[in-house]
Protein backbone atom coordinates (compact mmCIF):
# COMPACT_ATOMS: atom_id res chain seq x y z
CA UNK A 1 0.00 0.00 0.00
CA UNK A 2 1.42 3.37 -0.98
CA UNK A 3 2.38 5.54 1.99
CA UNK A 4 0.19 8.52 1.08
CA UNK A 5 -2.91 6.37 0.67
CA UNK A 6 -2.17 4.49 3.90
CA UNK A 7 -1.83 7.74 5.86
CA UNK A 8 -5.07 9.14 4.41
CA UNK A 9 -6.83 5.86 5.09
CA UNK A 10 -5.90 5.73 8.77
CA UNK A 11 -6.36 9.45 9.39
CA UNK A 12 -9.76 9.37 7.68
CA UNK A 13 -10.86 6.61 10.03
CA UNK A 14 -9.62 8.42 13.13
CA UNK A 15 -11.31 11.70 12.18
CA UNK A 16 -14.58 10.04 11.16
CA UNK A 17 -14.65 7.83 14.25
CA UNK A 18 -14.19 10.87 16.46
CA UNK A 19 -16.98 12.76 14.67
CA UNK A 20 -19.37 9.80 14.82
CA UNK A 21 -19.95 10.47 18.51
CA UNK A 22 -21.57 13.79 17.54
CA UNK A 23 -24.14 12.04 15.34
CA UNK A 24 -24.53 8.76 17.20
CA UNK A 25 -28.10 8.28 15.91
CA UNK A 26 -26.63 7.36 12.51
CA UNK A 27 -25.27 4.13 13.99
CA UNK A 28 -28.24 1.87 14.68
CA UNK A 29 -28.36 -0.64 17.51
CA UNK A 30 -27.67 -3.36 14.96
CA UNK A 31 -24.41 -1.79 13.78
CA UNK A 32 -23.38 -0.60 17.21
CA UNK A 33 -23.39 -4.24 18.28
CA UNK A 34 -21.07 -5.30 15.47
CA UNK A 35 -18.77 -2.29 15.60
CA UNK A 36 -18.43 -2.12 19.39
CA UNK A 37 -17.05 -5.67 19.45
CA UNK A 38 -14.10 -4.81 17.23
CA UNK A 39 -13.71 -1.03 17.53
CA UNK A 40 -11.82 -0.86 20.80
CA UNK A 41 -9.81 -4.05 20.33
CA UNK A 42 -8.73 -3.63 16.71
CA UNK A 43 -9.64 -0.37 15.01
CA UNK A 44 -8.65 1.97 17.84
CA UNK A 45 -5.63 0.15 19.30
CA UNK A 46 -4.12 -1.83 16.40
CA UNK A 47 -5.17 0.32 13.47
CA UNK A 48 -1.82 0.40 11.69
CA UNK A 49 -1.18 -3.32 11.96
CA UNK A 50 -1.50 -4.06 8.25
CA UNK A 51 -1.91 -7.77 8.94
CA UNK A 52 -5.34 -6.95 10.31
CA UNK A 53 -6.41 -5.42 7.01
CA UNK A 54 -4.73 -8.09 4.92
CA UNK A 55 -6.79 -10.69 6.81
CA UNK A 56 -9.94 -8.68 7.53
CA UNK A 57 -12.21 -11.35 5.99
CA UNK A 58 -10.47 -14.35 7.56
CA UNK A 59 -13.15 -15.86 9.83
CA UNK A 60 -14.90 -12.47 9.30
CA UNK A 61 -12.55 -11.05 11.91
CA UNK A 62 -13.26 -7.43 10.96
CA UNK A 63 -16.00 -7.91 8.37
CA UNK A 64 -18.70 -9.38 10.63
CA UNK A 65 -22.09 -8.01 9.67
CA UNK A 66 -21.03 -6.92 6.17
CA UNK A 67 -19.73 -10.24 4.90
CA UNK A 68 -22.05 -13.00 3.64
CA UNK A 69 -19.26 -15.55 3.13
CA UNK A 70 -20.57 -19.03 3.92
CA UNK A 71 -19.02 -22.38 4.81
CA UNK A 72 -21.29 -24.56 2.69
CA UNK A 73 -23.38 -24.13 -0.44
CA UNK A 74 -20.97 -22.01 -2.52
CA UNK A 75 -20.92 -24.49 -5.42
CA UNK A 76 -24.73 -24.78 -5.41
CA UNK A 77 -25.03 -20.99 -5.52
CA UNK A 78 -22.50 -20.83 -8.36
CA UNK A 79 -24.44 -23.28 -10.53
CA UNK A 80 -27.70 -21.57 -9.61
CA UNK A 81 -26.24 -18.27 -10.83
CA UNK A 82 -25.13 -19.86 -14.12
CA UNK A 83 -28.78 -20.63 -14.85
CA UNK A 84 -29.60 -16.93 -14.58
CA UNK A 85 -26.47 -15.22 -15.92
CA UNK A 86 -24.22 -16.02 -18.89
CA UNK A 87 -21.10 -17.93 -17.93
CA UNK A 88 -18.77 -15.41 -19.62
CA UNK A 89 -20.16 -12.57 -17.53
CA UNK A 90 -19.89 -14.61 -14.33
CA UNK A 91 -16.34 -15.78 -14.94
CA UNK A 92 -15.07 -12.36 -16.05
CA UNK A 93 -16.32 -10.81 -12.81
CA UNK A 94 -15.07 -13.39 -10.35
CA UNK A 95 -12.01 -11.99 -8.62
CA UNK A 96 -8.53 -13.33 -9.26
CA UNK A 97 -7.45 -11.87 -5.92
CA UNK A 98 -8.56 -12.76 -2.43
CA UNK A 99 -8.38 -9.36 -0.80
CA UNK A 100 -8.95 -9.76 2.92
CA UNK A 101 -7.92 -13.43 2.85
CA UNK A 102 -11.42 -14.92 3.03
CA UNK A 103 -11.21 -18.57 4.05
CA UNK A 104 -14.68 -19.39 2.71
CA UNK A 105 -14.03 -19.43 -1.05
CA UNK A 106 -13.52 -21.99 -3.79
CA UNK A 107 -10.73 -21.74 -6.35
CA UNK A 108 -11.72 -22.44 -9.95
CA UNK A 109 -9.71 -21.67 -13.09
CA UNK A 110 -7.48 -19.24 -11.16
CA UNK A 111 -10.57 -17.39 -9.93
CA UNK A 112 -12.06 -17.23 -6.45
CA UNK A 113 -15.70 -18.25 -6.21
CA UNK A 114 -16.94 -16.11 -3.36
CA UNK A 115 -20.58 -16.26 -2.28
CA UNK A 116 -20.52 -12.49 -1.79
CA UNK A 117 -19.38 -11.95 -5.38
CA UNK A 118 -21.99 -14.32 -6.79
CA UNK A 119 -24.81 -12.14 -5.47
CA UNK A 120 -23.15 -8.95 -6.68
CA UNK A 121 -22.55 -10.39 -10.15
CA UNK A 122 -26.26 -11.15 -10.34
CA UNK A 123 -27.09 -7.58 -9.29
CA UNK A 124 -24.73 -6.23 -11.94
CA UNK A 125 -26.27 -8.44 -14.62
CA UNK A 126 -29.74 -7.10 -13.79
CA UNK A 127 -28.51 -3.51 -13.86
CA UNK A 128 -26.63 -4.15 -17.10
CA UNK A 129 -29.70 -5.54 -18.86
CA UNK A 130 -32.03 -2.82 -17.56
CA UNK A 131 -29.80 0.27 -17.46
CA UNK A 132 -26.11 0.06 -18.39
CA UNK A 133 -26.67 -1.43 -21.86
CA UNK A 134 -29.26 1.25 -22.68
CA UNK A 135 -28.33 4.41 -20.80
CA UNK A 136 -25.17 6.38 -20.08
CA UNK A 137 -24.39 6.21 -16.37
CA UNK A 138 -21.56 8.41 -15.13
CA UNK A 139 -22.22 8.49 -11.37
CA UNK A 140 -23.35 5.96 -8.78
CA UNK A 141 -23.92 6.41 -5.06
CA UNK A 142 -24.16 3.28 -2.92
CA UNK A 143 -25.56 3.77 0.56
CA UNK A 144 -24.24 1.10 2.91
CA UNK A 145 -21.95 -0.61 0.43
CA UNK A 146 -20.18 -2.87 2.91
CA UNK A 147 -16.56 -3.64 2.11
CA UNK A 148 -17.04 -2.77 -1.57
CA UNK A 149 -18.02 -6.02 -3.29
CA UNK A 150 -20.68 -4.56 -5.58
CA UNK A 151 -18.56 -1.46 -6.25
CA UNK A 152 -15.72 -3.70 -7.43
CA UNK A 153 -17.92 -5.58 -9.89
CA UNK A 154 -19.55 -2.45 -11.31
CA UNK A 155 -16.27 -0.53 -11.55
CA UNK A 156 -14.72 -3.56 -13.21
CA UNK A 157 -17.16 -2.99 -16.08
CA UNK A 158 -17.99 0.73 -16.13
CA UNK A 159 -16.06 3.98 -16.07
CA UNK A 160 -18.15 5.77 -13.43
CA UNK A 161 -17.61 7.99 -10.42
CA UNK A 162 -18.59 5.85 -7.43
CA UNK A 163 -19.61 7.30 -4.05
CA UNK A 164 -19.82 4.99 -1.04
CA UNK A 165 -21.55 6.11 2.16
CA UNK A 166 -21.05 4.05 5.30
CA UNK A 167 -19.86 4.09 8.90
CA UNK A 168 -16.15 4.72 9.69
CA UNK A 169 -15.10 1.10 10.28
CA UNK A 170 -16.76 -0.08 7.07
CA UNK A 171 -15.28 2.80 5.09
CA UNK A 172 -11.82 1.80 6.27
CA UNK A 173 -12.34 -1.74 4.96
CA UNK A 174 -13.95 -0.73 1.66
CA UNK A 175 -11.23 1.83 0.91
CA UNK A 176 -8.55 -0.80 1.56
CA UNK A 177 -10.39 -3.50 -0.42
CA UNK A 178 -11.04 -1.30 -3.46
CA UNK A 179 -7.56 0.21 -3.43
CA UNK A 180 -5.95 -3.23 -3.38
CA UNK A 181 -8.19 -4.40 -6.23
CA UNK A 182 -7.52 -1.40 -8.47
CA UNK A 183 -4.09 -0.16 -7.35
CA UNK A 184 -2.49 -1.04 -10.69
CA UNK A 185 -5.10 0.94 -12.65
CA UNK A 186 -4.36 4.41 -11.24
CA UNK A 187 -7.83 4.90 -9.80
CA UNK A 188 -8.29 8.11 -7.84
CA UNK A 189 -9.66 7.92 -4.29
CA UNK A 190 -11.18 10.74 -2.24
CA UNK A 191 -11.29 9.85 1.47
CA UNK A 192 -12.81 11.70 4.40
CA UNK A 193 -9.53 13.22 5.52
CA UNK A 194 -9.30 15.10 2.20
CA UNK A 195 -12.81 16.61 2.36
CA UNK A 196 -13.39 20.17 3.55
CA UNK A 197 -16.51 21.43 5.33
CA UNK A 198 -18.16 17.98 5.12
CA UNK A 199 -19.33 18.67 1.54
CA UNK A 200 -18.91 16.97 -1.83
CA UNK A 201 -18.96 19.17 -4.93
CA UNK A 202 -19.84 18.40 -8.54
CA UNK A 203 -16.20 18.98 -9.46
CA UNK A 204 -15.06 16.41 -6.89
CA UNK A 205 -17.68 13.92 -8.07
CA UNK A 206 -16.26 13.94 -11.60
CA UNK A 207 -12.60 14.08 -10.55
CA UNK A 208 -12.42 10.81 -8.60
CA UNK A 209 -13.14 7.15 -9.26
CA UNK A 210 -14.10 6.42 -5.65
CA UNK A 211 -15.39 8.82 -3.01
CA UNK A 212 -15.74 7.09 0.37
CA UNK A 213 -17.52 9.11 3.04
CA UNK A 214 -19.44 8.81 6.33
CA UNK A 215 -23.19 9.58 6.40
CA UNK A 216 -22.92 13.17 7.67
CA UNK A 217 -21.05 14.42 4.59
CA UNK A 218 -23.55 16.29 2.40
CA UNK A 219 -23.86 16.83 -1.35
CA UNK A 220 -23.82 20.35 -2.72
CA UNK A 221 -27.24 21.36 -3.99
CA UNK A 222 -26.46 21.01 -7.69
CA UNK A 223 -24.81 17.58 -7.39
CA UNK A 224 -26.90 14.93 -9.13
CA UNK A 225 -26.48 11.14 -9.23
CA UNK A 226 -27.47 8.81 -12.07
CA UNK A 227 -28.00 5.72 -9.91
CA UNK A 228 -28.49 5.29 -6.18
CA UNK A 229 -28.09 1.80 -4.70
CA UNK A 230 -29.01 0.34 -1.35
CA UNK A 231 -28.32 -3.35 -1.03
CA UNK A 232 -29.52 -4.88 2.25
CA UNK A 233 -28.62 -2.07 4.64
CA UNK A 234 -31.71 0.13 4.95
CA UNK A 235 -33.40 -2.83 6.62
CA UNK A 236 -30.84 -2.34 9.41
CA UNK A 237 -31.50 1.39 9.87
CA UNK A 238 -34.02 3.16 12.04
CA UNK A 239 -36.99 4.78 10.30
CA UNK A 240 -35.72 8.33 10.76
CA UNK A 241 -32.40 7.48 9.11
CA UNK A 242 -34.23 5.81 6.20
CA UNK A 243 -36.36 8.95 5.77
CA UNK A 244 -33.24 11.12 5.74
CA UNK A 245 -31.62 8.97 3.07
CA UNK A 246 -34.76 9.14 0.94
CA UNK A 247 -34.57 12.93 1.13
CA UNK A 248 -31.06 12.67 -0.32
CA UNK A 249 -32.21 10.24 -3.02
CA UNK A 250 -35.22 12.37 -3.96
CA UNK A 251 -33.18 15.56 -3.97
CA UNK A 252 -30.07 14.36 -5.79
CA UNK A 253 -31.24 11.82 -8.37
CA UNK A 254 -30.95 13.04 -11.95
CA UNK A 255 -34.11 13.37 -13.97
CA UNK A 256 -34.67 9.87 -15.38
CA UNK A 257 -32.08 8.57 -12.91
CA UNK A 258 -32.47 5.30 -11.02
CA UNK A 259 -32.71 3.78 -7.55
CA UNK A 260 -31.99 0.11 -6.81
CA UNK A 261 -33.43 -1.04 -3.49
CA UNK A 262 -32.69 -4.61 -2.34
CA UNK A 263 -33.98 -5.21 1.17
CA UNK A 264 -36.02 -7.51 3.37
CA UNK A 265 -39.77 -7.44 3.41
CA UNK A 266 -39.52 -7.20 7.18
CA UNK A 267 -36.70 -6.99 9.71
CA UNK A 268 -36.56 -6.02 13.34
CA UNK A 269 -33.00 -5.62 14.61
CA UNK A 270 -33.04 -1.90 15.48
CA UNK A 271 -35.88 -1.91 18.01
CA UNK A 272 -38.43 -1.13 15.29
CA UNK A 273 -40.19 -3.15 12.62
CA UNK A 274 -38.63 -2.06 9.33
CA UNK A 275 -40.81 -2.98 6.34
CA UNK A 276 -40.06 -2.43 2.67
CA UNK A 277 -43.68 -1.50 2.02
CA UNK A 278 -43.27 1.49 4.38
CA UNK A 279 -40.21 3.01 2.68
CA UNK A 280 -41.02 6.70 2.00
CA UNK A 281 -40.98 6.82 -1.79
CA UNK A 282 -42.60 9.88 -3.32
CA UNK A 283 -44.87 9.49 -6.37
CA UNK A 284 -42.27 10.13 -9.08
CA UNK A 285 -40.90 6.63 -9.55
CA UNK A 286 -41.68 4.18 -12.31
CA UNK A 287 -41.03 0.54 -11.41
CA UNK A 288 -38.74 -1.31 -13.82
CA UNK A 289 -38.11 -4.52 -11.85
CA UNK A 290 -40.00 -5.90 -8.84
CA UNK A 291 -39.09 -9.47 -7.91
CA UNK A 292 -37.57 -11.68 -5.24
CA UNK A 293 -33.79 -11.45 -5.02
CA UNK A 294 -31.76 -14.44 -6.14
CA UNK A 295 -30.78 -16.85 -3.30
CA UNK A 296 -33.13 -15.15 -0.79
CA UNK A 297 -36.86 -15.77 -0.47
CA UNK A 298 -37.30 -12.98 2.10
CA UNK A 299 -35.53 -10.16 0.20
CA UNK A 300 -37.00 -8.07 -2.62
CA UNK A 301 -35.24 -6.61 -5.67
CA UNK A 302 -36.83 -3.26 -6.61
CA UNK A 303 -35.46 -1.09 -9.42
CA UNK A 304 -37.16 2.22 -10.13
CA UNK A 305 -36.64 5.20 -12.44
CA UNK A 306 -37.11 8.84 -11.45
CA UNK A 307 -40.02 10.04 -13.57
CA UNK A 308 -43.78 10.22 -13.58
CA UNK A 309 -44.94 6.61 -13.83
CA UNK A 310 -46.85 5.54 -16.93
CA UNK A 311 -47.44 1.96 -15.93
CA UNK A 312 -46.36 0.47 -12.60
CA UNK A 313 -46.46 3.15 -9.90
CA UNK A 314 -44.25 2.58 -6.90
CA UNK A 315 -47.05 2.78 -4.35
CA UNK A 316 -49.24 0.24 -6.11
CA UNK A 317 -46.28 -2.15 -6.29
CA UNK A 318 -45.50 -1.67 -2.59
CA UNK A 319 -49.16 -2.28 -1.69
CA UNK A 320 -48.95 -5.50 -3.68
CA UNK A 321 -46.16 -6.73 -1.37
CA UNK A 322 -48.38 -6.69 1.73
CA UNK A 323 -49.07 -10.44 1.78
CA UNK A 324 -45.40 -11.25 1.22
CA UNK A 325 -44.54 -8.92 4.10
CA UNK A 326 -46.99 -10.68 6.39
CA UNK A 327 -45.48 -14.03 5.45
CA UNK A 328 -42.05 -12.86 6.54
CA UNK A 329 -43.17 -11.12 9.74
CA UNK A 330 -42.08 -13.27 12.69
CA UNK A 331 -44.04 -14.09 15.81
CA UNK A 332 -42.65 -11.56 18.28
CA UNK A 333 -43.39 -13.72 21.33
CA UNK A 334 -41.37 -16.53 19.77
CA UNK A 335 -38.58 -14.11 18.84
CA UNK A 336 -38.30 -12.76 22.39
CA UNK A 337 -38.33 -16.30 23.76
CA UNK A 338 -35.41 -17.18 21.46
CA UNK A 339 -33.47 -14.20 22.83
CA UNK A 340 -34.01 -15.33 26.40
CA UNK A 341 -32.92 -18.87 25.56
CA UNK A 342 -29.82 -17.51 23.80
CA UNK A 343 -28.89 -15.41 26.83
CA UNK A 344 -29.37 -18.38 29.15
CA UNK A 345 -27.20 -20.61 26.97
CA UNK A 346 -24.50 -17.93 26.81
CA UNK A 347 -24.49 -17.70 30.59
CA UNK A 348 -24.23 -21.43 31.26
CA UNK A 349 -22.21 -22.75 28.29
CA UNK A 350 -18.73 -21.96 26.96
CA UNK A 351 -18.21 -19.97 23.76
CA UNK A 352 -16.44 -22.85 22.04
CA UNK A 353 -19.36 -25.20 22.72
CA UNK A 354 -21.87 -22.63 21.47
CA UNK A 355 -19.80 -22.14 18.32
CA UNK A 356 -19.95 -25.88 17.62
CA UNK A 357 -23.71 -25.84 18.18
CA UNK A 358 -24.08 -22.93 15.76
CA UNK A 359 -22.13 -24.77 13.08
CA UNK A 360 -24.27 -27.86 13.60
CA UNK A 361 -27.53 -25.94 13.32
CA UNK A 362 -26.24 -23.54 10.65
CA UNK A 363 -28.90 -21.22 9.30
CA UNK A 364 -28.05 -18.56 6.72
CA UNK A 365 -30.11 -15.48 7.60
CA UNK A 366 -28.64 -12.39 5.88
pLDDT tens string 22-38: 776 677 776 677 677 77
Q: How far is CA 90 from CA 82, 143, 147, 193, 338, in A?
A: 7, 24, 20, 36, 39
User: What is the model's pLDDT at position 206?
Assistant: 94
Contact 146, 56 (CB under 8 A): no
Residues of the chain with pLDDT under 70: 24-25, 30-31, 34, 40, 45, 331-339, 342, 345-348, 350-366
User: What is the model's pLDDT at position 45?
Assistant: 66
- Measured from the Cβ of residue 199, the count of other Cβ atoms closer than 10 Å reads 13
pTM (predicted TM-score):
0.88
Helix (H, G, I), strand (E, B) or coil at 72: coil
CA 95 to CA 338: how far, in whole Å? 38
User: What is the model's pLDDT at position 11?
Assistant: 94
Instruction: Write the burial class of residue 311 (CB in 10 Å: 0-12 exposed, 13-18 middle, 19+ buried).
Output: exposed
Domain boundaries, the chain: 3-69+116-327
Residues 6+ positions from 347 with CB-CB distance below 8 Å: none
CA 238 to CA 179: how far, in whole Å? 31
* CATH classification for the domain delimited by 3-69+116-327, as one of 3.40.50.300, 3.40.50.150, 3.10.129.10, 3.40.120.10: 3.40.50.150
User: What is the model's pLDDT at position 365?
Assistant: 45
Phi/psi at 4 (5° precision):
-65, -45
User: What is the model's pLDDT at position 310?
Assistant: 77
Residues 6+ positions from 13 with CB-CB distance below 8 Å: 43, 47, 168, 169, 171, 172
Amino acid sequence: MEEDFKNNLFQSYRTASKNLSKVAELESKYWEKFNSEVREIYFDKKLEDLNLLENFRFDKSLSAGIDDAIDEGIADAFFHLLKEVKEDLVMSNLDNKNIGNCNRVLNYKDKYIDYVDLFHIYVFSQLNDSIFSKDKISSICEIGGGFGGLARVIKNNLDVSYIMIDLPETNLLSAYYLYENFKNENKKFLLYNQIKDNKISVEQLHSYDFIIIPPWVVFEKDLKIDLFVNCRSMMEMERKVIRDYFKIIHGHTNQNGYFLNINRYHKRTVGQAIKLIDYPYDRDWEVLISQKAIFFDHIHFLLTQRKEPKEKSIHSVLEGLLEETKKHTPNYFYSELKKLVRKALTFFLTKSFLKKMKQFFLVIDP
